[in-house]
Structure 1
C-alpha cells in the first residue's frame, strides 16, 4: 500500500487507516485537555477480594471470565452500564468489571510552584511530615511551640541555624519568627546545567535531586518550576533505584500500563493500567504521574520518578518532543530532540 505523511518524519501505511472527510485538527490542539486533577480518566482500585473481567458486558457475572484482576490493581474506567440490577464498568483495555468490586481514586490537589524570575536560589520548601512542630528561638536555643505545619504545606525557607537536635529552618519573619526542623521539609537546590544543555538558546531541561526528592525545571540557567517527587527506593546498583546521570527523553506516551507480572521473584504483584503522562529517559525509567500514593518527598517508586498528577500533566506538555495534535505517543527526531533529564 501507500505511505501517508502524517507529521514531521512520521508516516503511516494507508492499509491501517481510513481517510476522513472532516477538516484537519488544528496543530495546537492537545489530544487531551488539561484536567483539574491531572487525571485523564476515572481511575479505580480493585478491592480486597479481587474481581473478574469480561470481554462482553452481557457475559459479566454469567459466563466464564476472560481476565482476573488482583486486589490493588488499578484500572481506568471509560464507560459504565447497568445490567441485571448491577453496574459494570469498561476498562480502557476493554474488559467489563463489576463496579461493586472497585474503589475510586481520590483527587490529589498537590502541585509544584513557579520560581520567581531572577531568583538566585529557591527559597521555598514543602513540609513532608504529617504534623511538623514549630519552634521559636530563645536565648538558650530553640523551644517547641504548640503550633505545627501540615504535610505538603508550602513554606518560605529564609535562614538555617543549628539546634541541639539538628538543623532548623526559619519560615517566618518578625517577632513571631517560626522555625521548623530541616528534617520535616524538602527544599530543592539550584544547580548549574550539564554540558548537554544549550544554555545560550535557553534550552529547557529537568534536574532531579534524589537527596531532597525534588525536581526543578529550567530554561537555560534559570529555574522556572519546582516540585516534590518520589524516586526509586532500591539500593545503589539495584533495578529499583533511579539511575544517576544525564539523559534525554526518548519516548513520550499519554498513558502506559505498568506492572511486574512477569517477575517470578516478586514479593507482591502490581498492575497499574493507563499510568498518565509518561516520559521515558533511561530505558524503562521515566517521569510519570502517580495516583496510587501520596509519598512525594520520600523515596517510594520501583525506579521511575513519580510525580503528582498535576505536575506530570504540566511537565508533559512543557518538554520536548511536542506531542502532535491527535497523537497519543511521540519519539524525538533530529529536529526536535528529547528534553535533557539529569538525575543526581
Structure 2
C-alpha cells in the first residue's frame, strides 16, 4: 500500500465506535502517554449496570455451555439442528428478537439473513401491530415476527447465504476500497460494463501494475472458500477470460441477487448498478469468483462488487496469552515495535538484543531506575524498559465482583494492556489500542472513556461509520463488537496492526483473534445462530483506568 493510501486509511479508519450511523465522539487528539503503570489498585465499588439500562429487571439469556470459541482459540461448533427439530430461517437482513411477542417489546438479540434457528411451536402469538403473521418463540429465548422469517428451508435467501465463519479470526473476507466503483445487483454483461464503468480498461491496467494494493497482492484472501482446483493469476485470468465453473447459483445467467440489501430492494427488478463504493470504506464478503476474466465478490447481503476495487485484508495474526496456561506472575508484555532487552553492566543499561514486539517475558520481581526509566529484570537475565513494556501484576486489592467470582475485564490505558479475569484468577492478557488521545477528556477528545461498565450489546459483526465532515468513513461488519458504554466498545480491528499504541477514536481495538476469543468468553452469551445479543444488567464487567 502506498504511503499516501496508508495516510488516507489512517485518517479514515481511526474511529470512535459508532453503530450504523450513530455519531462518534471525535475531537483533536492529545499526546498519548508512553509510560507504563506498574501496578493498579482496583476499586471496590460495584459497576454501573450500563448506560442504556432502564432499571427494569431483565431475564438473563441462558448460559451457552461450552463456548463456541475458547480462550485457547479452539472452536467447538455445535451439532447441526436435527431433521426432527422445527426450524425457522431469517430472510430479512436484520431480524430483531424480542423478549415478548410484540414489536414494542425489548430487543434481546438479532438474526442476520440466512440464519436458521430452532423454533418453539408451543410459544406463539397471533397477528400484532406491525407483525401481520404473528410471533413465534425461538431457542433458547425470545420471539421473532413471522413476517421476517420463513419455515421453508429451500427459500432462496437461506440457500444463498453464507454465515459468519467463527472458526477463523475474521468472520468474513474483507477488503478496503482503493479505487471507487459500482455495486451491482447481478453480474454485469459486457455492454453493461461499458455503461457503468466506461474507463474500465484504464482502471484494470493500473490495477494490474499496482504491486502494493493491486492484482499482485492478496489473492489468497479471496480464495478462502476455494478448494480443489488451481486458480490462475489475475493477468492470466483476464487474458484468457476465465469463468469459474462454480459461480454462485443465485447469480447464474445474470439473474438478480436475492432481495435483502436495501439498495437492491428499492430498485426495479431489472436494475444493474444499485450503489457505489468509495475510498474510506471497508467491506466484507462471503463469495468470490471469476467471470469472463474478472473477479467479483459477493457481500453478506448479496450485492456484487468487482474485487479489483479493493485491497484484500488479512488482518493481524497476533493474539494474546492464556495466563494460567502460558504465563505466570509477574510478567511483562512488549507494547512497542522498537523495544530492547538490556544488560546491566554495573553502571548503565546496555542494549543486548531486540525485544520482539508483543512478546511476553517472565519477571523476577526486581526493578531498577536508569535515566528516569523503570526497568524490570527478566528471568533470563535481561532488563526491560517501561518505555517499551508493560508489567502485569495481580491486583493489590480485589473489587467485590472479583471476590464473588465474576468474570471481568481490566483495561490499562497507559500500558495498552487488557487482562481478563474469572474472579481473582487472571485467565487472558493481551495488547490493545485505545483512544489516540490517551488520557485526555473523552467528552472533547478521542480518549477512551474511563470507569466501570458492563457489556450490554454484542454483535458478531456490525457496521460502524461517521458522517463528521473530514472524517467520513464506513466500515462494514467490524468483527466481534461488544458495547459497554454508549458508543464505546471492544471490537476487532481488521484495518491495522498497531496494537500496543493508542490508535482509535475512543473504542478499544483488539487484534481479530483476541476479539474472537473474548467475544465468546464474555456475557451476554450470543446463542448459536444468533448474530447479536443484548443484556443490560448482567453483562461482563469492564474496568477502564489510566
TM-score, with structure 1 as normaliser: 0.85
- Of structures 1 and 2, the one scoring higher in RCO (CA 8 A, sep 6+) is 2
CA contact under 8 A between 1:230 and 1:301: conserved in structure 2? Answer: yes
1:183 aligns with 2:387: yes
Q: Does the C-alpha gap of structure 1 residues 160 and 62 become closer, same or farther in structure 2, counting only changes over 3 Å?
A: farther
Q: Does the C-alpha gap of structure 1 residues 62 and 239 become closer, same or farther in structure 2, counting only changes over 3 Å?
A: farther
How far 1:104 moved relative to its partner?
1.3
Tell me the residue number matched to 2:458. Answer: 252
Tell me the residue number matched to 2:511. Answer: 308
How far 1:220 moved relative to its partner?
1.3
Aligned-residue CA RMSD in angstroms? 2.5
How far 1:84 moved relative to its partner?
3.4
1:263 aligns with 2:468: yes
CA contact under 8 A between 2:479 and 2:491: conserved in structure 1? Answer: yes
Give unmatched runs, 5+ long, in structure 2: 1-126, 128-133, 155-162, 197-272
Tell me the residue number matched to 1:28. Answer: none
Q: Does the C-alpha gap of structure 1 residues 61 and 199 become closer, same or farther in structure 2, counting only changes over 3 Å?
A: farther
Give unmatched runs, 5+ long, in structure 1: 23-30
How far 1:123 moved relative to its partner?
2.1
Q: What is the DSSP-based 3-state SS (H/G/I as helix, E as strand, rest coil) of the residue aligned with 1:187?
A: strand
How far 1:10 moved relative to its partner?
0.8
Q: Does the C-alpha gap of structure 1 residues 63 and 54 become closer, same or farther in structure 2, counting only changes over 3 Å?
A: farther
Q: Name the stretch that deviates more: 59-68 or 222-231.
A: 59-68
Instruction: Give the number of equivalent residue pairs.
Output: 321
Tell me the residue number matched to 2:135. Answer: 3
Q: 2:147 aligns with which of 15, 19, 23?
A: 15
Question: Could you tell me how far apart the structure 2 residues matched to 1:133 and 1:209 are?
Answer: 22
CA contact under 8 A between 1:188 and 1:212: conserved in structure 2? Answer: no
How far 1:107 moved relative to its partner?
4.2
How far 1:189 moved relative to its partner?
4.2
The within-5 A match list for 1:142-161 is 142-145=349-352, 147-158=353-364, 159-161=366-368
Tell me the residue number matched to 1:343. Answer: 544
The structure with more radius of gyration: 2
Q: What is the DSSP-based 3-state SS (H/G/I as helix, E as strand, rest coil) of the residue aligned with 2:514?
A: helix
1:39 aligns with 2:188: no
Question: Could you tell me how far apart the structure 1 residues matched to 2:312 and 2:331 are?
Answer: 33
Q: Does the C-alpha gap of structure 1 residues 240 and 95 become closer, same or farther in structure 2, counting only changes over 3 Å?
A: farther
1:74 aligns with 2:282: yes
Question: Could you tell me how far apart the structure 2 residues matched to 1:62 and 1:189 are?
Answer: 63
Tell me the residue number matched to 1:131. Answer: 338
Question: Could you tell me how far apart the structure 2 residues matched to 1:194 and 1:301 are?
Answer: 28
Structure in which a larger fraction of residues adopt helix: 2
Question: Could you tell me how far apart the structure 1 residues matched to 2:348 and 2:188 are?
Answer: 71
Q: Does the C-alpha gap of structure 1 residues 131 and 211 become closer, same or farther in structure 2, counting only changes over 3 Å?
A: closer
TM-score, with structure 2 as normaliser: 0.55
Question: Could you tell me how far apart the structure 2 residues matched to 1:101 and 1:301 are?
Answer: 25
1:199 aligns with 2:403: yes
Q: Does the C-alpha gap of structure 1 residues 107 and 232 become closer, same or farther in structure 2, counting only changes over 3 Å?
A: closer
How far 1:285 moved relative to its partner?
0.9
CA contact under 8 A between 1:172 and 1:179: conserved in structure 2? Answer: no
Q: What is the DSSP-based 3-state SS (H/G/I as helix, E as strand, rest coil) of the residue aligned with 2:355?
A: strand
Q: What is the DSSP-based 3-state SS (H/G/I as helix, E as strand, rest coil) of the residue aligned with 2:515?
A: helix
Q: What is the DSSP-based 3-state SS (H/G/I as helix, E as strand, rest coil) of the residue aligned with 1:58?
A: coil
